[in-house]
Structure 1
Amino acid sequence: MTPRVFCLSTLLIAAPLGALAHPHVFIDAGLSLRHDASGALTHLAVEWAYDEFYSLLIIEDLGLDPDGDGVLTPDEQAALQGFDADWEPGFDGRLYLETDSGRPALDGPQDFAARYQDGRLISAHVRPLATPLDGDVPLTIKVYDPEYYVQFSVPEPPAITRTDCTADLRMGDPYAASDAYARAVGEALGDGESAEEADLITVDIGATGADSVQVRCGLQS
Protein backbone atom coordinates (compact mmCIF):
# COMPACT_ATOMS: atom_id res chain seq x y z
CA MET A 1 0.00 0.00 0.00
CA THR A 2 1.40 3.36 -0.93
CA PRO A 3 0.58 6.83 0.37
CA ARG A 4 -1.09 7.69 -2.93
CA VAL A 5 -3.81 5.12 -2.29
CA PHE A 6 -5.29 7.22 0.47
CA CYS A 7 -4.93 10.60 -1.24
CA LEU A 8 -3.57 12.02 2.01
CA SER A 9 -0.10 12.83 0.77
CA THR A 10 0.35 15.74 3.16
CA LEU A 11 0.10 13.27 6.03
CA LEU A 12 2.04 10.43 4.49
CA ILE A 13 5.22 12.05 3.25
CA ALA A 14 7.87 9.38 3.68
CA ALA A 15 10.36 9.75 6.50
CA PRO A 16 14.09 9.58 5.64
CA LEU A 17 14.84 6.17 4.24
CA GLY A 18 17.17 5.39 7.11
CA ALA A 19 14.04 5.22 9.29
CA LEU A 20 12.03 3.13 6.88
CA ALA A 21 12.91 -0.27 8.32
CA HIS A 22 9.55 -0.22 10.04
CA PRO A 23 5.99 0.44 8.86
CA HIS A 24 4.27 3.79 9.19
CA VAL A 25 0.70 2.53 9.39
CA PHE A 26 -0.70 -0.47 11.26
CA ILE A 27 -3.92 -2.12 10.14
CA ASP A 28 -5.88 -5.01 11.63
CA ALA A 29 -7.62 -6.76 8.75
CA GLY A 30 -10.93 -8.52 9.22
CA LEU A 31 -12.19 -10.98 6.60
CA SER A 32 -15.50 -12.60 5.76
CA LEU A 33 -15.97 -15.29 3.09
CA ARG A 34 -19.24 -15.40 1.21
CA HIS A 35 -20.42 -18.47 -0.67
CA ASP A 36 -23.33 -18.89 -3.05
CA ALA A 37 -26.04 -21.54 -2.87
CA SER A 38 -23.83 -24.06 -4.66
CA GLY A 39 -21.06 -23.61 -2.09
CA ALA A 40 -18.73 -21.64 -4.37
CA LEU A 41 -16.76 -18.75 -2.93
CA THR A 42 -17.96 -15.56 -4.63
CA HIS A 43 -16.93 -12.60 -2.44
CA LEU A 44 -14.61 -11.58 0.36
CA ALA A 45 -15.66 -8.77 2.66
CA VAL A 46 -12.72 -6.86 4.10
CA GLU A 47 -12.39 -4.50 7.05
CA TRP A 48 -9.33 -2.39 7.77
CA ALA A 49 -9.05 -1.08 11.33
CA TYR A 50 -6.39 1.63 11.30
CA ASP A 51 -4.19 2.27 14.31
CA GLU A 52 -5.26 5.08 16.63
CA PHE A 53 -2.49 7.51 15.70
CA TYR A 54 -3.06 7.24 11.97
CA SER A 55 -6.81 7.43 12.52
CA LEU A 56 -6.35 10.67 14.42
CA LEU A 57 -4.23 12.13 11.64
CA ILE A 58 -6.94 11.39 9.10
CA ILE A 59 -9.73 12.71 11.32
CA GLU A 60 -7.83 15.94 11.86
CA ASP A 61 -6.91 16.26 8.19
CA LEU A 62 -10.56 15.90 7.22
CA GLY A 63 -11.60 18.43 9.85
CA LEU A 64 -13.85 15.96 11.68
CA ASP A 65 -14.65 15.61 15.39
CA PRO A 66 -13.47 19.13 16.36
CA ASP A 67 -14.73 18.67 19.92
CA GLY A 68 -12.60 15.53 20.30
CA ASP A 69 -15.35 13.45 21.88
CA GLY A 70 -14.77 10.55 19.48
CA VAL A 71 -18.34 10.72 18.17
CA LEU A 72 -19.08 11.90 14.65
CA THR A 73 -22.20 13.80 13.74
CA PRO A 74 -24.28 12.48 10.82
CA ASP A 75 -22.70 15.11 8.55
CA GLU A 76 -19.20 14.16 9.73
CA GLN A 77 -19.98 10.49 9.23
CA ALA A 78 -21.08 11.26 5.67
CA ALA A 79 -17.87 13.23 5.05
CA LEU A 80 -15.81 10.27 6.22
CA GLN A 81 -17.18 7.89 3.62
CA GLY A 82 -14.72 6.93 0.91
CA PHE A 83 -11.69 8.47 2.62
CA ASP A 84 -9.54 5.54 1.42
CA ALA A 85 -11.58 4.48 -1.61
CA ASP A 86 -9.56 6.28 -4.28
CA TRP A 87 -7.41 3.32 -5.29
CA GLU A 88 -4.82 3.73 -7.99
CA PRO A 89 -5.37 1.69 -11.18
CA GLY A 90 -4.03 -1.81 -10.65
CA PHE A 91 -3.81 -1.55 -6.87
CA ASP A 92 -4.35 -5.07 -5.50
CA GLY A 93 -5.86 -4.11 -2.15
CA ARG A 94 -3.09 -6.10 -0.45
CA LEU A 95 -5.37 -9.13 -0.45
CA TYR A 96 -3.94 -12.33 -1.91
CA LEU A 97 -5.60 -15.70 -2.49
CA GLU A 98 -3.65 -18.86 -3.20
CA THR A 99 -4.67 -22.37 -4.26
CA ASP A 100 -2.62 -25.32 -5.45
CA SER A 101 -3.42 -24.29 -9.02
CA GLY A 102 -2.57 -20.61 -8.71
CA ARG A 103 -3.96 -17.32 -7.53
CA PRO A 104 -7.68 -16.72 -8.07
CA ALA A 105 -8.28 -13.26 -9.52
CA LEU A 106 -10.27 -10.64 -7.66
CA ASP A 107 -12.37 -7.89 -9.17
CA GLY A 108 -12.17 -4.31 -7.96
CA PRO A 109 -13.60 -3.17 -4.64
CA GLN A 110 -17.27 -2.44 -4.05
CA ASP A 111 -19.51 -1.12 -1.29
CA PHE A 112 -17.06 1.08 0.58
CA ALA A 113 -18.16 2.14 4.04
CA ALA A 114 -16.36 3.69 6.98
CA ARG A 115 -16.92 4.42 10.64
CA TYR A 116 -15.03 5.91 13.58
CA GLN A 117 -15.14 3.64 16.61
CA ASP A 118 -13.16 3.68 19.86
CA GLY A 119 -10.59 6.03 18.39
CA ARG A 120 -9.98 3.96 15.27
CA LEU A 121 -11.11 4.37 11.70
CA ILE A 122 -12.63 1.20 10.31
CA SER A 123 -13.04 0.98 6.56
CA ALA A 124 -14.95 -1.81 4.83
CA HIS A 125 -15.19 -2.97 1.23
CA VAL A 126 -16.10 -6.09 -0.73
CA ARG A 127 -13.95 -7.90 -3.31
CA PRO A 128 -15.81 -10.20 -5.72
CA LEU A 129 -13.90 -13.06 -7.24
CA ALA A 130 -13.52 -12.68 -10.98
CA THR A 131 -14.76 -16.28 -11.28
CA PRO A 132 -16.47 -18.11 -8.40
CA LEU A 133 -14.09 -20.57 -6.79
CA ASP A 134 -15.09 -24.13 -5.97
CA GLY A 135 -15.63 -23.88 -2.24
CA ASP A 136 -14.07 -27.29 -1.61
CA VAL A 137 -10.71 -26.21 -3.04
CA PRO A 138 -8.18 -25.61 -0.23
CA LEU A 139 -7.50 -21.89 -0.03
CA THR A 140 -4.85 -19.73 1.62
CA ILE A 141 -5.53 -16.05 2.25
CA LYS A 142 -2.90 -13.44 3.08
CA VAL A 143 -3.08 -9.71 3.69
CA TYR A 144 0.24 -7.88 3.47
CA ASP A 145 2.06 -4.91 1.99
CA PRO A 146 5.16 -6.08 0.06
CA GLU A 147 6.56 -2.53 0.27
CA TYR A 148 6.18 -2.69 4.08
CA TYR A 149 4.80 0.84 4.38
CA VAL A 150 1.82 -0.72 6.15
CA GLN A 151 2.00 -3.60 8.58
CA PHE A 152 -1.13 -5.70 8.34
CA SER A 153 -2.23 -8.22 10.91
CA VAL A 154 -5.16 -10.62 10.86
CA PRO A 155 -6.18 -10.89 14.52
CA GLU A 156 -9.18 -13.19 14.04
CA PRO A 157 -10.08 -16.06 11.69
CA PRO A 158 -12.55 -15.01 8.98
CA ALA A 159 -16.27 -15.41 9.25
CA ILE A 160 -17.50 -17.96 6.70
CA THR A 161 -21.04 -18.40 5.41
CA ARG A 162 -20.61 -22.15 4.87
CA THR A 163 -20.96 -24.19 8.04
CA ASP A 164 -18.69 -27.04 6.90
CA CYS A 165 -15.51 -24.95 6.73
CA THR A 166 -12.57 -24.49 9.05
CA ALA A 167 -10.16 -21.57 9.07
CA ASP A 168 -6.67 -22.04 10.49
CA LEU A 169 -5.12 -18.66 11.32
CA ARG A 170 -1.33 -18.78 11.39
CA MET A 171 0.38 -15.73 12.80
CA GLY A 172 3.39 -14.44 10.92
CA ASP A 173 6.59 -12.90 12.22
CA PRO A 174 6.72 -9.09 12.02
CA TYR A 175 10.40 -9.19 12.94
CA ALA A 176 11.07 -11.24 9.82
CA ALA A 177 9.34 -8.58 7.73
CA SER A 178 11.32 -5.80 9.37
CA ASP A 179 14.60 -7.65 8.83
CA ALA A 180 13.75 -8.35 5.18
CA TYR A 181 12.93 -4.71 4.60
CA ALA A 182 16.14 -3.53 6.21
CA ARG A 183 18.14 -5.92 4.02
CA ALA A 184 16.30 -4.78 0.88
CA VAL A 185 16.94 -1.11 1.65
CA GLY A 186 20.58 -1.88 2.36
CA GLU A 187 20.94 -3.67 -0.96
CA ALA A 188 19.22 -0.81 -2.79
CA LEU A 189 21.70 1.63 -1.24
CA GLY A 190 24.65 -0.69 -1.79
CA ASP A 191 26.21 1.55 -4.40
CA GLY A 192 27.20 4.01 -1.69
CA GLU A 193 24.32 6.41 -2.13
CA SER A 194 23.10 7.67 1.23
CA ALA A 195 19.48 7.47 2.32
CA GLU A 196 19.31 11.26 2.38
CA GLU A 197 20.51 11.48 -1.21
CA ALA A 198 18.11 8.89 -2.55
CA ASP A 199 15.00 10.42 -4.10
CA LEU A 200 12.92 7.27 -3.88
CA ILE A 201 13.51 3.62 -3.13
CA THR A 202 10.83 1.00 -3.61
CA VAL A 203 11.54 -2.49 -2.34
CA ASP A 204 9.48 -5.65 -2.34
CA ILE A 205 9.73 -8.08 0.55
CA GLY A 206 6.81 -10.18 -0.68
CA ALA A 207 4.86 -12.07 1.95
CA THR A 208 7.73 -12.30 4.42
CA GLY A 209 6.33 -12.40 7.96
CA ALA A 210 2.69 -12.17 6.87
CA ASP A 211 -0.20 -13.77 8.74
CA SER A 212 -2.05 -16.41 6.73
CA VAL A 213 -5.42 -18.13 6.87
CA GLN A 214 -5.88 -21.65 5.52
CA VAL A 215 -9.50 -22.42 4.66
CA ARG A 216 -10.75 -25.96 4.18
CA CYS A 217 -14.37 -26.82 3.41
CA GLY A 218 -16.42 -29.95 2.82
CA LEU A 219 -14.34 -33.12 2.80
CA GLN A 220 -11.24 -30.96 3.20
CA SER A 221 -12.35 -29.42 6.51
Structure 2
Amino acid sequence: MAAVLAAGPALSHPHVFVDGGVDFVFGNDQQIEALKVTWLYDEFETLYTLSVLELSLNDAGGLDEADRLELVRRLSDWPDDFDGSAHLSIEGEPVPLAWPEGLDARMVDGRLLITFTRPLEEPVKLAGRPAEVAFYESTYFFAFSVTNPPQLIGAADPCSATVIPNDPNDQPEELRATLAALGREETPGIANVGALFADRIMVTCAS
Protein backbone atom coordinates (compact mmCIF):
# COMPACT_ATOMS: atom_id res chain seq x y z
CA MET A 1 0.00 0.00 0.00
CA ALA A 2 2.87 2.36 0.71
CA ALA A 3 3.97 2.04 -2.92
CA VAL A 4 0.43 2.76 -4.11
CA LEU A 5 0.37 6.03 -2.20
CA ALA A 6 3.84 7.20 -3.15
CA ALA A 7 3.30 8.59 -6.63
CA GLY A 8 0.77 9.93 -9.08
CA PRO A 9 -0.32 13.07 -10.88
CA ALA A 10 0.07 16.50 -9.26
CA LEU A 11 -3.20 17.60 -7.69
CA SER A 12 -4.15 19.97 -4.90
CA HIS A 13 -4.83 18.59 -1.43
CA PRO A 14 -6.65 16.34 -0.87
CA HIS A 15 -5.54 13.91 -3.59
CA VAL A 16 -7.69 10.84 -2.93
CA PHE A 17 -11.43 10.87 -2.23
CA VAL A 18 -12.91 7.97 -0.29
CA ASP A 19 -16.53 7.35 0.65
CA GLY A 20 -17.53 4.83 3.28
CA GLY A 21 -17.98 4.81 7.00
CA VAL A 22 -17.64 3.00 10.30
CA ASP A 23 -19.82 0.38 11.99
CA PHE A 24 -19.64 -0.35 15.72
CA VAL A 25 -19.40 -3.93 17.04
CA PHE A 26 -20.79 -4.45 20.54
CA GLY A 27 -20.31 -7.37 22.88
CA ASN A 28 -21.83 -8.08 26.27
CA ASP A 29 -22.84 -5.33 28.69
CA GLN A 30 -22.85 -2.56 26.05
CA GLN A 31 -19.11 -2.88 25.43
CA ILE A 32 -17.68 -1.68 22.12
CA GLU A 33 -15.32 -4.41 20.91
CA ALA A 34 -14.35 -3.28 17.40
CA LEU A 35 -14.89 -0.85 14.55
CA LYS A 36 -15.66 -2.14 11.06
CA VAL A 37 -14.32 0.32 8.49
CA THR A 38 -15.40 0.70 4.86
CA TRP A 39 -13.50 2.59 2.17
CA LEU A 40 -14.90 3.13 -1.34
CA TYR A 41 -12.21 4.73 -3.50
CA ASP A 42 -12.95 7.24 -6.23
CA GLU A 43 -12.76 5.91 -9.78
CA PHE A 44 -9.42 7.54 -10.60
CA GLU A 45 -7.68 6.16 -7.51
CA THR A 46 -9.23 2.76 -8.17
CA LEU A 47 -7.63 2.59 -11.62
CA TYR A 48 -4.37 4.03 -10.34
CA THR A 49 -4.15 1.50 -7.51
CA LEU A 50 -4.83 -1.44 -9.81
CA SER A 51 -2.27 -0.13 -12.31
CA VAL A 52 0.46 0.22 -9.69
CA LEU A 53 -0.24 -3.31 -8.47
CA GLU A 54 -0.28 -4.57 -12.09
CA LEU A 55 -3.83 -5.91 -11.83
CA SER A 56 -6.46 -5.61 -14.56
CA LEU A 57 -10.23 -5.59 -14.65
CA ASN A 58 -11.92 -8.41 -16.52
CA ASP A 59 -14.45 -7.97 -19.32
CA ALA A 60 -17.26 -7.61 -16.76
CA GLY A 61 -15.49 -4.71 -15.05
CA GLY A 62 -14.57 -6.75 -12.00
CA LEU A 63 -11.58 -8.72 -10.80
CA ASP A 64 -10.96 -12.38 -11.44
CA GLU A 65 -10.81 -14.22 -8.12
CA ALA A 66 -7.06 -14.82 -8.32
CA ASP A 67 -6.47 -11.10 -8.89
CA ARG A 68 -8.89 -10.16 -6.11
CA LEU A 69 -7.06 -12.40 -3.65
CA GLU A 70 -3.74 -10.93 -4.74
CA LEU A 71 -5.14 -7.45 -4.19
CA VAL A 72 -6.27 -8.44 -0.68
CA ARG A 73 -2.82 -9.85 0.05
CA ARG A 74 -1.02 -6.73 -1.17
CA LEU A 75 -3.30 -4.25 0.58
CA SER A 76 -3.12 -6.19 3.84
CA ASP A 77 0.54 -5.15 4.12
CA TRP A 78 -0.27 -1.89 5.90
CA PRO A 79 2.40 0.85 5.89
CA ASP A 80 4.13 1.54 9.18
CA ASP A 81 2.73 5.08 9.30
CA PHE A 82 -0.91 4.01 8.79
CA ASP A 83 -2.98 6.20 11.11
CA GLY A 84 -6.29 4.47 10.86
CA SER A 85 -8.88 6.82 9.30
CA ALA A 86 -11.25 5.90 12.16
CA HIS A 87 -10.29 7.71 15.35
CA LEU A 88 -12.35 6.67 18.39
CA SER A 89 -12.79 8.66 21.57
CA ILE A 90 -15.12 8.14 24.52
CA GLU A 91 -16.04 11.09 26.67
CA GLY A 92 -13.35 13.01 24.79
CA GLU A 93 -10.55 10.56 25.63
CA PRO A 94 -8.79 8.69 22.78
CA VAL A 95 -9.33 4.93 22.77
CA PRO A 96 -6.44 2.75 21.47
CA LEU A 97 -7.25 0.50 18.52
CA ALA A 98 -5.40 -2.64 17.48
CA TRP A 99 -3.81 -3.02 14.03
CA PRO A 100 -6.24 -3.66 11.14
CA GLU A 101 -7.31 -7.22 10.49
CA GLY A 102 -9.59 -9.13 8.15
CA LEU A 103 -9.16 -6.88 5.11
CA ASP A 104 -11.35 -7.71 2.12
CA ALA A 105 -11.58 -6.02 -1.28
CA ARG A 106 -13.91 -6.08 -4.27
CA MET A 107 -15.12 -3.91 -7.12
CA VAL A 108 -18.45 -2.06 -6.84
CA ASP A 109 -19.68 -0.12 -9.90
CA GLY A 110 -16.16 0.55 -11.12
CA ARG A 111 -14.79 1.54 -7.71
CA LEU A 112 -12.57 -0.36 -5.32
CA LEU A 113 -14.25 -1.18 -2.01
CA ILE A 114 -12.14 -2.18 0.99
CA THR A 115 -13.37 -3.33 4.38
CA PHE A 116 -11.35 -4.14 7.50
CA THR A 117 -11.75 -4.35 11.27
CA ARG A 118 -10.06 -2.36 14.02
CA PRO A 119 -10.53 -4.19 17.35
CA LEU A 120 -10.26 -2.11 20.49
CA GLU A 121 -7.18 -3.05 22.49
CA GLU A 122 -9.57 -3.42 25.43
CA PRO A 123 -13.39 -3.48 25.08
CA VAL A 124 -15.01 -0.40 26.59
CA LYS A 125 -18.43 -0.16 28.19
CA LEU A 126 -20.40 2.59 26.51
CA ALA A 127 -23.61 2.78 28.56
CA GLY A 128 -24.13 6.42 29.52
CA ARG A 129 -20.84 7.51 27.93
CA PRO A 130 -20.87 9.29 24.53
CA ALA A 131 -18.49 7.94 21.87
CA GLU A 132 -17.23 9.66 18.75
CA VAL A 133 -15.43 8.43 15.66
CA ALA A 134 -13.70 11.04 13.51
CA PHE A 135 -13.23 9.71 9.94
CA TYR A 136 -10.00 11.18 8.56
CA GLU A 137 -6.33 10.75 7.63
CA SER A 138 -3.99 13.06 9.48
CA THR A 139 -2.24 14.76 6.53
CA TYR A 140 -5.48 15.23 4.55
CA PHE A 141 -3.90 13.43 1.58
CA PHE A 142 -7.09 11.35 1.72
CA ALA A 143 -10.48 13.04 2.08
CA PHE A 144 -12.82 10.57 3.78
CA SER A 145 -16.59 11.10 3.73
CA VAL A 146 -19.14 9.18 5.79
CA THR A 147 -21.67 8.06 3.19
CA ASN A 148 -22.75 4.76 4.80
CA PRO A 149 -25.22 4.94 7.69
CA PRO A 150 -23.36 3.58 10.74
CA GLN A 151 -24.54 0.19 11.98
CA LEU A 152 -24.58 -0.71 15.68
CA ILE A 153 -23.89 -4.44 15.49
CA GLY A 154 -24.97 -6.36 18.57
CA ALA A 155 -25.99 -3.23 20.47
CA ALA A 156 -28.88 -3.52 22.89
CA ASP A 157 -31.53 -0.80 22.86
CA PRO A 158 -31.48 2.08 23.31
CA CYS A 159 -28.37 3.07 21.35
CA SER A 160 -28.23 5.54 18.48
CA ALA A 161 -25.68 6.86 15.99
CA THR A 162 -25.64 10.30 14.38
CA VAL A 163 -23.44 11.43 11.49
CA ILE A 164 -22.11 14.99 11.74
CA PRO A 165 -20.82 16.00 8.27
CA ASN A 166 -17.90 18.36 8.06
CA ASP A 167 -18.28 21.59 6.11
CA PRO A 168 -14.85 22.57 4.68
CA ASN A 169 -16.06 26.16 4.48
CA ASP A 170 -16.05 26.25 8.27
CA GLN A 171 -12.25 26.42 8.08
CA PRO A 172 -10.44 29.70 7.34
CA GLU A 173 -10.05 30.54 3.66
CA GLU A 174 -6.30 30.97 4.18
CA LEU A 175 -5.98 27.37 5.39
CA ARG A 176 -8.00 26.03 2.45
CA ALA A 177 -5.88 28.03 0.00
CA THR A 178 -2.65 26.76 1.57
CA LEU A 179 -3.77 23.14 1.24
CA ALA A 180 -4.94 23.64 -2.34
CA ALA A 181 -1.52 24.98 -3.32
CA LEU A 182 0.41 21.95 -2.05
CA GLY A 183 1.92 19.54 -4.55
CA ARG A 184 1.44 15.78 -4.27
CA GLU A 185 4.80 15.28 -2.58
CA GLU A 186 4.26 18.09 -0.06
CA THR A 187 2.90 17.59 3.45
CA PRO A 188 0.95 20.27 5.30
CA GLY A 189 2.88 21.92 8.11
CA ILE A 190 -0.15 21.71 10.39
CA ALA A 191 -0.07 18.63 12.60
CA ASN A 192 -3.16 16.39 12.26
CA VAL A 193 -4.73 18.82 9.79
CA GLY A 194 -7.09 16.11 8.53
CA ALA A 195 -8.99 16.25 11.81
CA LEU A 196 -10.15 19.75 10.93
CA PHE A 197 -12.02 18.37 7.91
CA ALA A 198 -13.39 15.16 9.45
CA ASP A 199 -16.90 13.82 9.24
CA ARG A 200 -17.84 12.48 12.67
CA ILE A 201 -20.12 9.80 14.05
CA MET A 202 -21.60 10.21 17.52
CA VAL A 203 -22.85 7.11 19.36
CA THR A 204 -24.81 7.13 22.59
CA CYS A 205 -26.31 4.32 24.67
CA ALA A 206 -28.53 4.89 27.67
CA SER A 207 -27.08 3.87 31.02
Name the TM tier (shorter chain): 0.7 to 0.9
Within 5 Å, give how 1:154-193 maps onto structure 2: 154-161=146-153, 162-164=155-157, 165-176=159-170, 179=173, 180-183=175-178
Alpha-carbon distance, 1:201 to partner: 4.0
Partner Cα separation in structure 1 for residue 55 and residue 81 of structure 2: 30
Letter in 1 for 2:85: R
Structure 2: stretches of 5+ with no match in the other structure:
none
Q: Where does 1:1-221 land on structure 2 (aligned, <5 Å)?
A: 5-9=1-5, 12-13=7-8, 15=10, 20=12, 22-65=13-56, 67-136=58-127, 137-161=129-153, 162-164=155-157, 165-176=159-170, 179=173, 180-183=175-178, 200-204=186-190, 205-219=193-207
Shift of 1:77: 1.6
C-alpha distance in structure 2 between counterparts of 1:131 and 1:174, whole Å = 34
Whichever residue aligns with residue 63 of structure 1, its letter is E
Residue 86 of structure 1: how far off its partner (Å): 2.5
Query: 1:9, CA displacement in angstroms?
Result: 5.0
1:148-206: CA deviation from partner (whole Å, max 9, x where unpaired)? 111100013311121421001111113446943534688xxxxxxxx78xx84443324
Letter of the aligned partner of 1:153 in structure 2?
A: S
User: Which of structures 1 and 2 has the larger relative contact order (alpha carbons within 8 angstroms, sep 6+)?
Assistant: 2
**Kindly, what percent of the aligned residue pairs are identical?**
29
Aligned-residue Cα RMSD (Å) equals 2.6
1:80-120 CA distance string (max 9 Å, x none): 21343332335221221122251111111111111112101
Cα distance in 1, alignment partners of residues 57 and 107 from structure 2: 14
What is the count of residue pairs matched by the alignment? 200
Q: CA 1:160–1:50 in structure 2 vs 1: closer, same or farther (change >3 Å)?
A: same
Higher strand fraction (1 or 2): 2
Q: Distance in 2 between matches of 1:134 and 1:70?
A: 44
Q: TM-score, normalised by structure 2?
A: 0.83
Residue range with higher mean Cα deviation, 31-40 or 119-128: 31-40
Paired letter, 1:103: P
Contact 1:7/1:84 (CA < 8 Å) preserved in 2? no
Larger-Rg structure:
1
CA distance in 2, matches of 1:208, 1:114: 29
> Could you say what secondary structure the match of 1:82 adopts?
helix
Unpaired stretches in structure 1, ≥5 consecutive residues: 187-194
- Judge conservation of contact 1:114–1:121 (CA < 8 Å) in 2: yes
Instruction: Identify if the C-alpha distance between structure 1 residues 200 and 49 changes in structure 2 by more than 3 Å, giving closer, same or farther.
Output: closer
